[in-house]
Chain A
Amino acid sequence: MSLLDVNGLGISFGGLKAVDDVSFAVKPGEIVSVIGPNGAGKTTLFNMISGIYLPGRGSVSLIGTDVTGTAPNRLAEMGLSRTFQNLQIFQEMTVLDNVLAGYHLSERGSVLADLLSLPGMRRRASQARAGAMKLLNRVRLDEKADEIAGNLSYGALKRLEIARALALDPKILLLDEPAAGCNAVETEEIDHLIAELAAQGIAILLVEHDMKLVMRISNHIVVLDHGQKIAEGDPATVSRDPAVIAAYLGTEYKEPAHVDG
């Protein structure tokens, strides 16, 4: 059974169909990439799946439950977590606190239990702390745990956002351009991280412009252009698809025959 089912999803902004009739599915442990030229509707598609935008048409289901238009916080509880292309970080908190915020759901208890700092609460808090440190270690930010997040470099913030998303223990992770603005080494690290997560059984839905990265790690690729799905399949098939090549490079220009006169 698929983990995420996107069915005929569409949205219009004014008269513009930003995304139109897009369908695909993601299975556990699978890495699915959404690619397409700038403005193809990739981020809009992500925003609909993750509950930021209310889809105009179509449906999204998560593990067989219809979650079309469900608020992001509910989706987080249900196992869908995401990162943003333009970073959504708690800038004024420390790096560690950012990840700890991701444990919000698993730490939840009554306000009274918190105030009395009952042993159960304390145990959960220390578990969250240990888990957060482990995640920071995994994205190589453990040495910066006590720094204010706003002072980190862009590449580091990208990794921090992934660590926070992982703190939610998601079943599916939506990554919006995780390698954008990262150098070659950082990109390779993110590459490894994504592969590791998929190997653990987490489904990954990826928007990325780094084609080498996409071709290397994806099991399945969905290609969008002008809001519509123009191709779908494994990397080899998609990269040979004439419609995809046309979308990226334009159709071959045939010189018209000269007409004398």
Chain B
Amino acid sequence: MDALLQFLFSGLTVGAVYALVALGFTLIYNASDVVNFAQGEFVMLGGMITVFAYQAGVPLLLAATLAILITAALGVALNKLAIEPARGAPVVSLIIITIGASILIRGATQLIFDKQLHRFPAFSGDDPIRVMGATILPQSLWVLGGALAVFAVLWVFFSRTLTGKAVLATANNRVAAQLVGINTGWIMTLSFGLSAAIGAFAGVLVTPITLVSYDVGVTLALKGFAAAMLGGMGTPKGALVGGLLLGCLEALTAGYLSSQYKEAVAFIVILGTLFVMPQGLFGAKTTERV
């Protein structure tokens, strides 16, 4: 029982990070039908920039803020410089552009920073908290709380603000959105900026636990993609549930089977979802109206 709780704690922690990555996928996918494979790099940049700003003497909170803002700016730049000029190209080409962007970001990060593993101190120390025989790191609580806060803020944004509703309208039907006067180009820019910021925020939260180096983005993007598929591409609720579920599945597999199988879980989830319910847990069943 203690073991189960322990596995769940660690599963929920990494699951919260997957959920944030999946949310990043969701936002961009909704605005543009593009699956942005540079999403994992945003997480990595959040961690890396914070590390180096912190080492340069910038206070941690400021360093983290800086990292989020810079990454958001890079997200906007990705849209403006690479996606927008290719507008009208098939979605597959746009997806390949994002793969190219992720390689570029990884390469540039190696050059500008380095290839080492880094971390910065946890926000509230490293003393584990005991809960019913299991332990949890204070930083894990930060990750979970941070992820839930992001989802809550986003929920308010989508349900209460006109800009949020404009994003939903664009996701639903881009032409119709333009017809009612929504600047869908701006919505795209906003989505890329927001996704990058959310990714970087995840990176800031999780770096004290998992450490960061220039190449952590690849796996994160894959896991986040699996989570988004599981929950249903395009639904924030699906991103949250899919992320947490995938994290727990991984932790339970590692705990009860073997940690060697842990990395396979994401692939099995992708395949299983595609075989059994391609629309995911919360995805809308799409039917073409003719």
Q: Does B160 contact A (CB under 8 A)?
A: yes
* Stretch of B33-41, B46-54, B97-105, B174-182 at the chain-chain interface: B174-182
**Which of chain A's residues have a CB closer than 8 A to the CB of B161?**
111, 114-115
Asked, given contacts A90-B169, A104-B162, whether A115 binds B156 with beta carbons under 8 Å apart, the answer is yes
Measured CB to CB, the residues of B under 8 A from A are 156-157, 160-163, 165-166, 169, 172-173, 175-185, 284, 289
Q: In the complex, are the beta carbons of A73 and B182 less than 8 A apart?
A: yes
In this complex, the interface size class of chain A, counting residues with CB under 8 Å from chain B, is 20 to 34
Measured CB to CB, the residues of A under 8 A from B are 52, 71-73, 76-77, 81-82, 84, 88-93, 101-102, 104-105, 107-109, 111, 114-115, 117, 150, 164-165, 167-168
Q: In the complex, are the beta carbons of A89 and B182 less than 8 A apart?
A: no
Asked, given contacts A91-B173, A115-B160, whether A76 binds B284 with beta carbons under 8 Å apart, the answer is no
Given pairs A71-B183, A114-B160, A165-B179, 20 additional interface contacts (CB within 8 A): A73-B177, A76-B181, A81-B179, A84-B175, A88-B175, A90-B169, A90-B173, A91-B173, A93-B172, A101-B169, A101-B182, A102-B180, A104-B182, A108-B162, A109-B162, A111-B157, A111-B161, A111-B163, A164-B179, A168-B180
Asked, given contacts A89-B173, A92-B284, whether A164 binds B180 with beta carbons under 8 Å apart, the answer is yes
**Which of chain A's residues have a CB closer than 8 A to the CB of B177?**
73, 101
Chain B contact surface mostly = helix
Chain A contact surface mostly = loop
Q: In the complex, are the beta carbons of A168 and B181 less than 8 A apart?
A: yes
Q: In the complex, are the beta carbons of B176 and A105 less than 8 A apart?
A: no
Q: How many Å from the CB of B181 to the closest CB on chain A?
A: 4
Residue on A nearest B173 in the bound complex, by CB: A90
Bound-complex Cα distance A134 to B52 (A): 59
Pick the most buried of A92, A109, A150, A164: most chain B CB atoms within 10 A of its CB.
Answer: A92
**Which of chain B's residues have a CB closer than 8 A to the CB of A108?**
162
The one of A72, A93, A115 that contacts B179, using a Cβ cutoff of 8 Å: A72
Q: In the complex, are the beta carbons of B180 and A104 less than 8 A apart?
A: yes
Bound-complex Cα distance A111 to B182 (A): 15
Bound-complex Cα distance A82 to B289 (A): 21
Asked, given contacts A107-B162, A115-B156, whether A73 binds B176 with beta carbons under 8 Å apart, the answer is no
Asked, given contacts A88-B173, A90-B172, A90-B173, whether A105 binds B180 with beta carbons under 8 Å apart, the answer is yes
The one of B157, B178, B284 that contacts A73, using a Cβ cutoff of 8 Å: B178
**Which of chain A's residues have a CB closer than 8 A to the CB of B156?**
115
